[in-house]
Chain A
Amino acid sequence: MRHGKYRFVAGFLALPVLLYVFYVWVPFGYSFYFSLTRYRGTDVPPVFVGLDNFTTLFTDTPEFWKALTHNGVILLIMPLVTIVIALIFAFFLNVGGKAKGGVTSGVRGSKFYRLVFFFPQLLALPIVAVLFQSIYRPDDSGLINGALNKLGLPKIGFLIDTNIALLSIIAVMVWQAVGFYVVLFSAGMSSIPKEIYEAADLDGASRWTMFYKVTLPLLWDNIQVGWVYLGIAAFDVFALVDVLSVNRGGPSFSTTVLSMEVVNKIGAGNYGMASAMGVMLFFCTLTFAAISLRVTKRESIEY
């Protein structure tokens, strides 16, 4: 039987491992190698240039710095805004309703809200991007500017104003992500024992005190997971910039991100530089994950 067991294990692992090595590990490995070479993908083999590509990136590639900065801005704003909004909504949904004998319940229609809020998560990013292209149109044919116009407010050049184009894109990310975290946090909140809220209510705690002193600490693990997820998403932004922004990362590079620049460099056949940027993106993600796991590590509360 022993022999049969090993044959079985090998048989079950062979195909997945082969596919995974070929399409995932080999490209990862090659990208590290290509990042140290000049390579145009032709019959001319890669020329080893050491760290030249990275030097070029840091000293002579303004779009790289812009992309890096934008990923950083997204990382600072998007997870924070998403989590704060989602927490508030989840709190309203779970304990915003009438108190019955000291036990607070969710607001009416909380099922409906959860259902609606979550839906954007299912839409493919290119669809969302095309949708918001029209919503953000700079004249009153755009959904938002049309409304602003009716209220007598000045128009906003959401995607064409270099100062706010990136913020407009971040807003779309928040629009799509909030529902997911409302559902995630709601699940976490519903597992917090009602007695704790009851006790807090008896002690005369207001809803806000309950939120800060009960919900937030007990939900810390969920928030931490959400933070890491959204942070990684901040480095992964591509489709929204590719489809929604003016000229794929414009106007004048005001919305470009690292993945956009990698894809552009692939399109230009400059595989050395594309790989170098990919490697930079990898180290950014890794650094973020390491830091956030360290910073958010905190005694979790047992209940």
Chain B
Amino acid sequence: MAKKRSSTESFMTLGHIALAGWALVVIVPLLWTFASSFKTNSEIFGDAWTLPGALRWENWAYAWEHARIGKLMLNSVVVVAFSTFGTMLLGSMAAYVIARYKFPGNRFFYYFFISGLAFPVVLGLPSLFLIVRNLGQTPGIGDFLGLGTTPGLVLVYIAYSLPFTVFFLTAFFKTLPHSVAEAAMIDGASHTRLFFRVMMPMAKPGLISITIFNVIGQWNQYLLPRVLMQGRSGVEDKYVLTQGIAQISTTAGYEAHWGPLFAALTMSIIPMIVVYAFFQRQIQSGLTSGAVK
């Protein structure tokens, strides 16, 4: 018995060391980035494990003005706001009729949406690039939907977010009770009214999870803007944050502004920490909900 106790104790010690070690592996790089944001170039290329000589907020100012971190974030906010809203609206409409209405082709439409999950985005990428490029040459709509346009990017985000959203919400709408819907129909509510006034409020928990999932996924999207946000004059002004950060990292090299690069990184990490601090439970369940289903 004594032997077992001591082995359990050494097991616990081992566990504590491993957990604390990994926590450091996560936290130290983030703190180091924060510290480096105040460093001069020579401090940055000196010993990594020294603190900055002074709090040089001018690095932050430089990143904000010249690297246009504020502008990049605003672009990302605009893109994600519209695309998540569009994804949720269109996704829940499709999922709702597929889950709750009997009509010919119901199964077909279900598989039509969710089979997109089996295809990697990269497969369609060359043709998607050409399609969006050709849209850009179409008179009238070209300036809105072609390469390097924000609405064009938003529509692509929505389309590629639909399969998972429809998959998740179809399952969710199926779990909602039928009695409430029947009562509303007897009271003379139209189908549309039933959806917006009764079913959407009832589906709130599911909608919140998948909204968080889409916001984070679209905020962090890099492949699509990397390929689609180009080929138009002034497109740099429309870059999203992920694209901008990748670009800053290359320009920091030849313009030798390393402190501001770290300031830019810190500024893009801080909002995530703030959001996470407030919504960590919802974020964890929202992101893992995909795997649990």
The 7 A-B pairs with the shortest beta carbon distances in the complex, nearest first, are A146-B48, A27-B124, A23-B159, A30-B127, A92-B15, A124-B220, A274-B126
> What residues on A are CB-neighbors of B273 within 8 Å?
119
A-B contact pairs, 7 of them (CB 8 A): A4-B191, A19-B90, A127-B242, A130-B261, A139-B45, A141-B44, A271-B127
Number of chain A interface residues as a range? 35 or more
CB proximity of A151 to chain B, nearest CB, Å: 11
Q: Taking the complex as formed, is B97 at the interface, i.e. its CB lies under 8 A from any CB of chain A?
A: yes
- For residue A215, give the distance in angstroms from its CB to the closest CB of chain B: 14
Q: Determine the chain A residues whose CB is within 8 A of the CB of B46 once the complex forms.
A: 141
Complex alpha-carbon distance, A133 and B19, angstroms = 25
Residues of B within 8 A of A207 (CB): 7-8, 11
Chain A stretch 170-200: residues in CB contact (< 8 A) with chain B: 175, 178-180, 183-184, 187
Whether A20 contacts B48 in the complex (CB less than 8 A), given A125-B222, A134-B36, comes out as no
Q: A242 to B226, Cβ gap below 8 A? A: yes
B131 within 8 A of A: yes
A17-B91 Cα distance, complex, nearest whole Å: 10
Query: How far is it, in angstroms, between the C-alpha of A23 and the C-alpha of B116 when the chains are bound?
Result: 11
**Distance between Cα atoms of A16 and B27 in the complex (Å):** 42
**A130-B238 Cα distance, complex, nearest whole Å:** 21
Q: Which residues of A contact B219 (CB under 8 A)?
A: 124
Q: Which residues, 226 to 272 on B, are CB-close (under 8 Å) to A?
A: 226-227, 241-243, 245-246, 248-249, 261-262, 265, 268-269, 272
Stretch at the interface among B53-61, B203-211, B280-288: B280-288
Q: Which residues of A contact B156 (CB under 8 A)?
A: 23
Mark A116-141 against chain B: 1 for CB-CB distance below 8 A, else 0. 11111111111101111111010111
Determine how close the nearest CB of chain B comes to the CB of A209; give it in whole angstroms. Answer: 11
Question: Least Cβ distance of B210 to chain A in Å?
Answer: 14
**Is the CB–CB distance between B122 and A278 below 8 Å?**
yes
Contacts A30-B127, A126-B246, A146-B48 given; indicate if A229 touches B291 (C-beta within 8 A). Answer: yes
**Distance of A278 Cα from B127 Cα, bound (Å):** 10
Contact of B97 with A146 in the complex, beta carbons under 8 Å: no
- Residues 198-210 of A, flagged 1 when their CB comes within 8 A of B and 0 if not, give 0000001011100
Shortest distance from the beta carbon of A83 to any chain B beta carbon, whole Å: 12
Interface majority SS (helix, strand, loop, mixed), chain A: helix
Flag if B97 contacts A282 (CB, 8 Å).
no
CA of A31 to CA of B222, assembled, Å = 21
| Contact indicator A278/B48 (Cβ below 8 Å) | no
Which of A9, A24, A123, A124 is in CB contact (< 8 Å) with B101?
A: A9
Q: Tell me if B16 counts as interface (CB < 8 A to partner A).
A: yes
For residue B51, give the distance in angstroms from its CB to the closest CB of chain A: 13
The reply to whether B242 and A16 form a contact with Cβ atoms under 8 Å apart is no
Q: Which of B15, B222, B265, B272 touches A107 (beta carbons < 8 Å)?
A: B15
CA distance A147 to B47 in the complex (A): 9
- B23 and A121: CB pair below 8 A? no
For window 247-303 of A, CB contacts with B under 8 Å fall at: 258-259, 262-263, 265-266, 271, 274-275, 278-279, 281-282, 285-286, 289
